Amino acid sequence: MNEAKITAGESPATQADLEAIARYSRRKLAAEEVYTFPLVLCDNDLDRDQECFTDEALEKLAVLFCGKTGIFDHDPRGEKQTARIYRCAVEEEPGRLNHRGEPYKALKAWAYMVRTAANADLILEIDGGIKKEVSVGCSVKSGTCSLCGANRKEQPCGHQPGKKYGGKLCYTLLKEPTDAYEWSFVAVPAQPAAGVTKSHLPRKALTLTPERALAEMERGELHLDALAALNLRKHIAALERQSEEAGRYRETLCECIRRRTMLAQPEMNPALLEKSMAPLTVSELEELAALMEKQVKKRFSPMVQTAPTGERESDNRAFCI
């Protein structure tokens, strides 16, 4: 996505702003008591993860992000809360197109802070452009492949985001937002032009692959407590062990198929056999091994010799002269 950031500097709070802010404050605040600023949360263009929100998702997020707090580095502790969004809107930039050739749209938000001695420096940093990159935390119901439409969370299709297939770029469309958690000031932006470090993880279950979650955690883009980080590393270690065991089992199956094929079909080209086994799944290899076993048994089935039925007549010919 293009720049998700704090936009123009301070502007006096209007009466409409104060009325919107009053929905979240315990009392009505005066214009001189609050500091308001606009920011762009996300848009419908590609980010560095080769993902983008649909226009419909932006409209839903505009509703979900109203009232959400701004924090630092996705740290959920109460003392890290700095501001609150009181209004959101999806805005189209005339004449600008996104990567799909569609009108560029961005989710714009307006946030407020109550002026205190403690946040005076932060206000100066926002006005001075020091604090401007933000990150959003939200969850989406589906992330679909741009090429085949498969929901990557439920049925991974094998297409890799960022690669081209037949001249068409593969990316993930984020659809149907279900929740918006918070937005955060961050130091290092992950988006191409500007700054958003987006997260679309549900709170109870990470939708990232464990390896990617660990990589983002080590880069500081995903924040987990010590226990969650330990459990993640244990889970990855278990997956690696299972992968190694699965690899050994697969090789055992392939060797079994090689031996049985040599007996059942000795004319088979070994290179052709290897090429045919490479794309097969484990279950398909098991079926092939069973088929080869049947062919071996059929080819080398023992010949049972039985004695003739009935009594043989003795004519004593051996003693005839």
What is the SS3 assignment for 195-244? CCCCECCCCCCCCCCHHHHHHHHHCCCCCCCHHHHHHHHHHHHHHHHHHH
User: What distance lies between CA 25 and its chain's CA centroid?
Assistant: 36
Strands 172-185 and 51-53: parallel
CA-wise closest residue to 36 among 73, 1, 85 = 85
φ/ψ region of 283 (left if φ > 0, alpha if ψ in -120 to 50, else beta) reads: alpha
CA-wise closest residue to 37 among 134, 136, 117, 118 = 134
Helix (H) or strand (E) holding 250: helix 226-264
Examine the pLDDT at 201 and tell me if it is beyond 50: no
Would you state the pLDDT for residue 313? 60
Q: Is 92 helix (H, G, I), strand (E, B) or coil?
A: strand
pLDDT, average across residues 205-226: 60
Q: Tell me the pTM.
A: 0.57
pLDDT, average across residues 201-226: 57
Contact (Cβ atoms closer than 8 angstroms) between residue 74 and residue 132:
no
Would you state the pLDDT for residue 158? 78
The Cα–Cα gap between 150 and 56 comes to 18
Mean pLDDT of the chain: 80
pLDDT, average across residues 31-51: 89
User: What distance lies between CA 107 and its chain's CA centroid?
Assistant: 21
pLDDT in tens, 52-69: 999 999 999 999 999 998
Examine the pLDDT at 202 and tell me if it is beyond 70: no
Helix (H) or strand (E) holding 253: helix 226-264
Helix (H) or strand (E) holding 38: strand 34-43
Query: How many residues appear in the chain?
Result: 321
Residue found by looking up tokens 């452009």 in the block: 129
Q: pLDDT exceeding 90 applies to what percent of the chain? A: 31
List 84's β-bridge partners, or say none. 69, 112
Three-point CA angle 144, 153, 285, nearest 5°: 110
The Cα–Cα gap between 72 and 78 comes to 11
Structure tokens at 59: 């409209």
The Cα–Cα gap between 96 and 76 comes to 36
Torsion of the alpha carbons at 176, 178, 184 and 189, rounded to the nearest 10: -30
φ/ψ region of 235 (left if φ > 0, alpha if ψ in -120 to 50, else beta) reads: alpha
pLDDT in tens, 117-153: 988 888 888 888 777 777 788 888 889 999 999 888 7
The Cα–Cα gap between 16 and 19 comes to 5
